[in-house]
Amino acid sequence: MLFNSVFFITVFLPLILVGWFALQRLENATYAKLFLLGMSLWFYGYYNAWYLVILVASLLLNYGCSVLFEKCRQGAAAKAVLLGGIFGNVGILFYFKYFNFFIDNCNYFLHTDIQLERIALPLGISFFTFQQLSFIIDRYKEDSPHYNWLDYACFVTFFPQLVAGPIVLHSEFLPQLQARQNRRVQWEGFFDGTALFILGLGKKVLLADVLSILVNAEFNNISYLDAFSAWITIICYMLQLYFDFSGYCDMARGIGKMMGFQLPENFNSPLMAVSVTDFWRRWHMTLSRFLTTYIYIPLGGNRKGKVRQCCNIMIVFLVSGFWHGANWTFVVWGLLHGIARVWEILLPKLRFPWQWMNRLCTGIFVTLTFAIFRSDSLEQAGMLFQKLFMGGNKNFFPAMCNVFLIPENYALRKLLSMKAPQYLNGLFIGCVVLLIGMALWFVRGKRAEQWIEEKGRTLRGLLCIATIFTWAFISLSQVSTFLYFNF
């Protein structure tokens, strides 16, 4: 089920909110938790009920490990349970996400001819796998108690963050689930959550989805691009990805706030970063936290010298690349970010004295590497880079803008096509320039929650929120999935 759908907004969301708070009035909180679990499973299995089997199997595997840790708390037996849990989780993830990739590469490099039916990728498998890995590792280290099955099931399946994050730790969610004060509506938090959901909806529908019109069209026509249009394409993709993913996380956190839960922040103005290190402190922060806590630090972190630290960083970014997808483009993307991090560690003083210059160079690097991330193959990425740096000037930009057919410019398009068709190109170019300018302005602006706190409760703020919701809701006929559903 999609947050940006009429059914979710008009049926599912009101139903979950009313049912959750009505059942919380009962002395026994079990009924509210059962309701939350059932609604979360409905949300996840809405389009494909088969996905529920995989989710429940993963949940039972990890809860079973937690039960076993109660019986063997230390020694070889506990380590065997941990290794079994890790291999079980990684095995499920490998089969559904990487097995096709593995077979394809065997066929290519070993000249075999293994035929295999394509395995469908379950939504959110990377997210709920990492979330549960963190739990069983903490159980092994005795940093987590053994929860009852219903609380644990609610933690894993909590629908706002289930399919695209943020990656929530048990210590963040379960104490809130068990807290009695969350059984009543907190109206201030409910308002803030509603506003955050609407701003996230606006990011997704009014910015990311509109930018996708240009991005999808031009990534399918790379051979026609010149240098300028190629740069515009990858800038638009970087903006699309940011508004799409941060919009989803804002919506997820907004729903959490409505229900009385504080989910961790996942973005902190990442496109304003002044270094790659700074970028990863701001972008997909819960993934960075997981990789740091459960891979980088256990490998030794920065405690065993510069060489070991750099090796650990490269391992972390290699894992990050593979986590994002079964394609060599993701691996190269991860390795490039790892190399950049190592460069910044080894040469910390090799920086510009002006922050705006550091910010610009970081933005260029991030945008170029995410162009590889977006490409279907390394061959396509190579063709795109050829256009970026050797594409010349074929005056392709006006033709590129002609795909920008959106409801907002429909009336003006029709009027110009009848009265002054020679100005149509100017209209399209103006719309694209305006869109990119607005996107860059919002990138530089305040975080959504900061804006809500400072201006969201004023009359002007309320009018702005209402306008965004109305505009976005009317645009839901063009509903699209979130980009991170693919990862």
Contacts of 409 (CB under 8 A, 6+ apart): 427, 428, 431
CB count within 10 Å of CB 204 equals 27
Q: How far apart are CA 70 and CA 146, in angstroms?
A: 7
Give me the average pLDDT of each 10-residue run along the chain (487 residues).
89 94 88 94 90 93 92 84 93 89 84 78 88 93 90 94 88 88 79 94 92 92 91 95 93 94 92 94 93 92 88 94 90 95 91 91 96 94 94 86 83 84 86 92 85 87 92 78 68
Task: Classify residue 300 as left (phi > 0), alpha (psi -120 to 50) or beta.
Answer: left
> Would you state the pLDDT for residue 453?
87
Question: Any catalytic annotation for residue 337?
Answer: no
What's the Cα-to-Cα distance from 184 to each of 59, 187, 294, rounded to whole Å?
Answer: 29, 9, 35
Nearest to 361 by CA among 271, 438, 236, 240: 271
Q: Where are the domains of the chain?
A: 6-184, 191-275+351-486
**CB distance 436 to 264 below 8 Å:** no
Q: How far apart are CA 191 and CA 305, in angstroms?
A: 49
**CA angle (432, 436, 442) in 5-degree steps:** 145
DSSP per residue over 91-142, as a string? HHHIIIIIHHHHHHHHHHHS------PPPP--TTHHHHHHHHHHHHHHHHTT
Q: How far apart are CA 484 and CA 332, in angstroms?
A: 18
> Would you state the pLDDT for residue 477?
66
| Catalytic residue (one of 170, 284, 324, 337) | 324
> Would you state the pLDDT for residue 444?
85
What's the Cα-to-Cα distance from 186 to each of 12, 30, 34, 36, 204, rounded to whole Å?
Answer: 20, 20, 21, 18, 27
Q: Report which residue type is found at 191.
A: F
Contacts of 160 (CB under 8 A, 6+ apart): 251, 252, 253, 255, 256, 263
Torsion, Cα 418 419 420 424, to 10 degrees, reads -40
> Would you state the pLDDT for residue 386?
94
**CB distance 227 to 388 below 8 Å:** yes
Q: Report which residue type is found at 196.
A: L
Q: How far apart are CA 153 and CA 41, in angstroms?
A: 10
